[in-house]
Each structure stands twice: as C-alpha cells, then as structure tokens.
Amino acid sequence: MSPTGDPFDLSVNGHRVKTPIAIAAMAGTVDAAYVSARAGHVGMAFIGGYSIDPPTIAASRKMAGGGRCEFLPGDPVAELQKQADLLAATPVVGGINVRAASPEALTGLAASLGDRVIYEIDAHCRQAPMVEAGAGEFLLRHPDRLADMVRGLKREGVLVSVKIRAGVAENDPKLGRMLWDAGADILHVDLMDQGYAKIRQIRNASPITIIANNGMQSFDRVMEMFSHGADVVSLARRSDEQTLAGLDAAITRYANEFGWYNAPKQLCRGGDVRALTFCCLPVKDCPLLPTLSKVGLSQQEYVDIKKEAVKGTTLEEGPYTCFGSLAWCCKASSPCLLRDATLEQMGLSKKEYMKKKRELSRAIMCRVFPSRDGHDTG
C-alpha cells in the first residue's frame, strides 16, 4: 500500500518513486547537477550516457570529434562514484546510463559502485562508432549478448534498466519478455515514431516496469502511454522545469481525483492485460476470450483468480450488481447505474473503488506472469 498522501503508489523493487516522471539520459548534458536542478518535479532520473570500457570510450572520443556532446572523464569509475554520491542527495531514484561492449565491464562497475543506483544498459545509441564498438543498437540486433549483460548485473544484486529504441529489434515485445526473464527491472523505451500500441504490446508480454520516452511533453500524450501500460514517462530535450512542473501537477491532480494514475483502458476499448480487472464473467463473445487464450488462462482459471483475489475485500460485495460482486464491474469512468448505486450504498468512493481495482489487477498480473526466482512481479 502507498504511504499516506502518496497518490501514485509507485515503486521499483522497493524504491519509492514520488512521481511517474523521469529524466532520460542525454550524453554530455544530463549529470547529477542537471537532475538536482529539476528534482522537485521528477521521480526518477538517468544520468549519462557514460562509456566505461576501452571500445566505448574510443567510440565516444570519435563521436565527440564529430561534434557530439559526450562525457569523457579521465577515470569513468571515479566520476560515476562522485555522480552517484550527488544523486543520493536528491529525492530522486537515480540511475546511470552506461555503454559497454561486455558484461565484464558492467559487473566491474557495479562491484565498485554497489546498489545505490540503477544501472541502465544503453542499447539505444545509434551512432556508427558506438554500434561498431559492440554497444548501443548493436545489442538490439544481438539480444543474447544484451541478456548476458542483464544477468551479469543481476548477479551483483543491483537494479537493472535497459534503454532501447523501438522498432530496431526483430520483436520488441519478445525482447521485453526476454530481458524480464533475464532479470531486468525496467525497460526504457524510446518510441521514435511508434505510438501507444507498442507500449501495449510490451505490457502484454511481461510485467516489467515500462518507461515510455520521446514526445512526452503533453498531458494527453502521457495519459495515452499510461492507459496502455506505461508506469513512467521520461523526457530528455524537453526536461525543462516549466514542462516538468506542468506535467507533474496535471498527473498528480488526475491521480488524486481518480485513484489510479495509469489505469488501463477497458479491454473492449483497446486496453492491455491489466484491464482484466474490469472485465465481467466470460459469458459473451468479447475481447476477454481471446485475451485469456493469449495469456494462457482458461475461463475457469480467470474466474477463480478474481474470486480468490477479492475474497474478504470490499470488491467481493455488490449483491445488486450484474454478477453479484464488484469484482466483475467496469472502470469507474464507464457509466453504470448499478455499480454506482452499489458504491454509494457501501460508502465507497469511485477513487477508492479504483484503488481496489488496481490491487485486483496486481493480483491478476502476478498469476499471469509468475514470479521469477528472486524477483517480485508485483
């Protein structure tokens, strides 16, 4: 449950995120000082990118010679230790975006810095020198190597994010599932020209925390991502204080009013797998049936999961609703006289109803995507 007054109830493996807005790495620009100046309106931030081994450092020097901004410290490990100390002084969950050509470079860094930051593997840079060095987008075309990097970092007991560019890998949802299976905690997706459908596809493939990136400067764009499976949105070039403050205020108002800031659309309106929380009993031909088939649940398993999850809670009640329980009722924004009359009779606000539906959704997701050893899908 969220702390009192926390409208988001958002965490990454126990690390509370105060608002679902992040700053994305921009090489040569985003460091701890950049984050500190904007810390009032972001919950997460990724500094860098930093090249940490000889092949990627050489690539960074070549890119800098071509006019790109790059971080080129004499001692990358010492610089990142300093930056991690500075990040720790902010109220932001901090991460470092790093470029490496081997798992050993990443695990060596993690052994030096420990678990005080999230390690974000840069599988995103598309500059030719970095790709030729075996980093950046090269890893999206060699996903087994990327998964090895994730596994190496997880053996060090740290949180792992992977930054990708959508549409480069052969199959983004399959890649997301593969990285989650390898132990990744976060998938940070630069959508490029892809829309919310890409986020929904990835969400339907795994419960990994998703950060949606690129063009997230308007409330409408952000809510599109949230309602199709994103947990967080990130900004890079538009991460100015005015834009961040406006988004933070708007998202917070929405969360305080409706109770579940990234509630999915209903399944019949294009929602992702989390929307099973709003579905009724499987008694008609509707999107519920093919969705259950895709996630590997029988109709009876779906019914049993929901009944078990709501047992002893307010959602178990609702004798005057269509199916005798709020477990089968739809999203609060959908008109329903029976549901609303039941909520009023129970003294349950729509905001609290949506919070309960979120808890039910989490229970369903844990059954759809069973826990990995040592990792919590909830």
What is the predicted pLDDT for the residue at 373? 55
Banded pLDDT at 4 (limits 50, 70, 90): low
What is the predicted pLDDT for the residue at 14? 85
> Domain extents for the chain?
11-258, 267-368
What is the predicted pLDDT for the residue at 377? 41
What CATH number does domain 11-258 carry, 3.10.20.30, 3.40.640.10, 1.20.1250.20, 3.20.20.70? 3.20.20.70
Residue 242: both structure tokens together: 């005015």
3-state per-residue secondary structure call for 142-188: CHHHHHHHHHHHHHCCCCEEEEEECCCCCCHHHHHHHHHHHCCCEEE
Mean pLDDT, residues 88-101: 97
What is the predicted pLDDT for the residue at 13? 80
Mean pLDDT, residues 210-237: 97
Banded pLDDT at 374 (limits 50, 70, 90): very low
- Please state, in angstroms and as integers, the Cα–Cα distance from residue 110 to each residue in 16, 44, 239, 249, 323, following that order: 21, 19, 28, 35, 52
Burial class (CB in 10 A: 0-12, 13-18, 19+), 280: middle
Helices (H), the chain: 32-36, 54-65, 76-88, 103-113, 128-132, 143-155, 172-182, 196-203, 219-226, 241-258, 288-295, 299-310, 337-346, 350-368
Per-residue pLDDT at 335 exceeds 90: yes
Kindly give the pairing relationship between strand 15-16 and strand 11-12. antiparallel
Tokens 């990136």 found at:
213
Is-above-0.85 flag for pTM? yes
Q: What would the pLDDT profile of 239-280 be if each residue is shown by its tens digit? A: 999 999 999 999 999 999 999 999 999 999 999 999 999 999
Rounded-to-integer distance, Cα 156 and Cα 377, Å = 19
Per-residue pLDDT at 102 exceeds 90: yes
Which amino acid is present at 291? T
Tokens 């399959």 found at:
174
Average pLDDT score, the chain: 95
